Amino acid sequence: MLPSLAEIVKALYGLFLFSRLHPSAPTLFDRSVDGFWKSLFAAVLVLPPHALMTMRIVLDTPETVPYGFGDGVTDLLIYVIVWLAYPVLMIPVTRVIGRHERFLDYIVPYNWAMVPVGYLLGVVTFLGTFGYVTRDTEINLFVIAYAVVALFLAELARRQLQVGPFLAFGVVMLDITFNVVVINLLEVFAQQPGAPT
């Protein structure tokens, strides 16, 4: 189920209002089950910067075997799985913290938030990949970008799950840890003999 251009623009504007702590920001998101499935379209919008970041990793990794079509398919499958896995994780998490009724209120804006997050990190990657900034400057920019992203996502979790700042920060840390673990496990599995490549 695809969102219309108007729905995409509305969601992105809602994120802008979130960044300004505007109280009406949540009303710009379709926080229904239908709205959740539409919000996953954000994964398609984030593919270009994700592909650039993947390319940078490949260029920085000395490999005797060249990066081929099968590797691209594997990375794409991992990308899709990670996008679907986090909402699945948050269903029991919101139950544990007593905010299950706020699941859609949180996950829909969260999914759309990955669009500006992806492009922010993509811009930093672009600057480093094509030599517009030094490696040290690129690393510093990434540190700043991740700090801004963490603060924004913590505020989103605080408001949409209606929890305290410490629990909201814990949700962000869970998000980061979960993604790192899942990606590493999937990459290890993909390298096993007999795994699709």
Helix or strand or coil: residue 4?
Answer: coil
Whether the per-residue pLDDT at 60 is higher than 90: the answer is no
Whether the per-residue pLDDT at 43 is higher than 70: the answer is yes
By C-alpha distance, which of 20, 19, 18, 36 is closest to 28?
18
H-type helices in 20-68, by residue range? 33-39, 42-45, 47-60
In this prediction, residue 72 carries a pLDDT of 86
Compare 192 and 96 and report the one with higher pLDDT: 96
Per-residue pLDDT band for 127 (boundaries 50, 70, 90) equals very high
Whether the per-residue pLDDT at 51 is higher than 70: the answer is yes
Give the CA dihedral 155, 8, 52, 127, nearest 10 degrees.
Answer: -60
Compare 69 and 117 and report the one with higher pLDDT: 117
H-type helices in the chain, by residue range? 5-19, 33-39, 42-45, 47-60, 69-96, 103-129, 135-161, 165-190
How much is the average pLDDT of 139-167? 96
Distance CA 68, CA 75 (A): 11
Whether the per-residue pLDDT at 65 is higher than 80: the answer is no
In this prediction, residue 197 carries a pLDDT of 47
How much is the average pLDDT of 25-54? 95
Per-residue pLDDT band for 34 (boundaries 50, 70, 90) equals very high
By C-alpha distance, which of 133, 132, 179 is closest to 153?
179
pTM: 0.91
In this prediction, residue 132 carries a pLDDT of 94
Distance CA 127, CA 183 (A): 25
Cβ-in-10-Å burial (0-12, 13-18, 19+) of 85 comes to middle
| Cβ count within 10 A of residue 121 | 20
Per-residue pLDDT band for 92 (boundaries 50, 70, 90) equals very high
Q: For the chain, how far is it from start to end, CA to CA, in angstroms? A: 29
**DSSP structure class, residue 147:** H
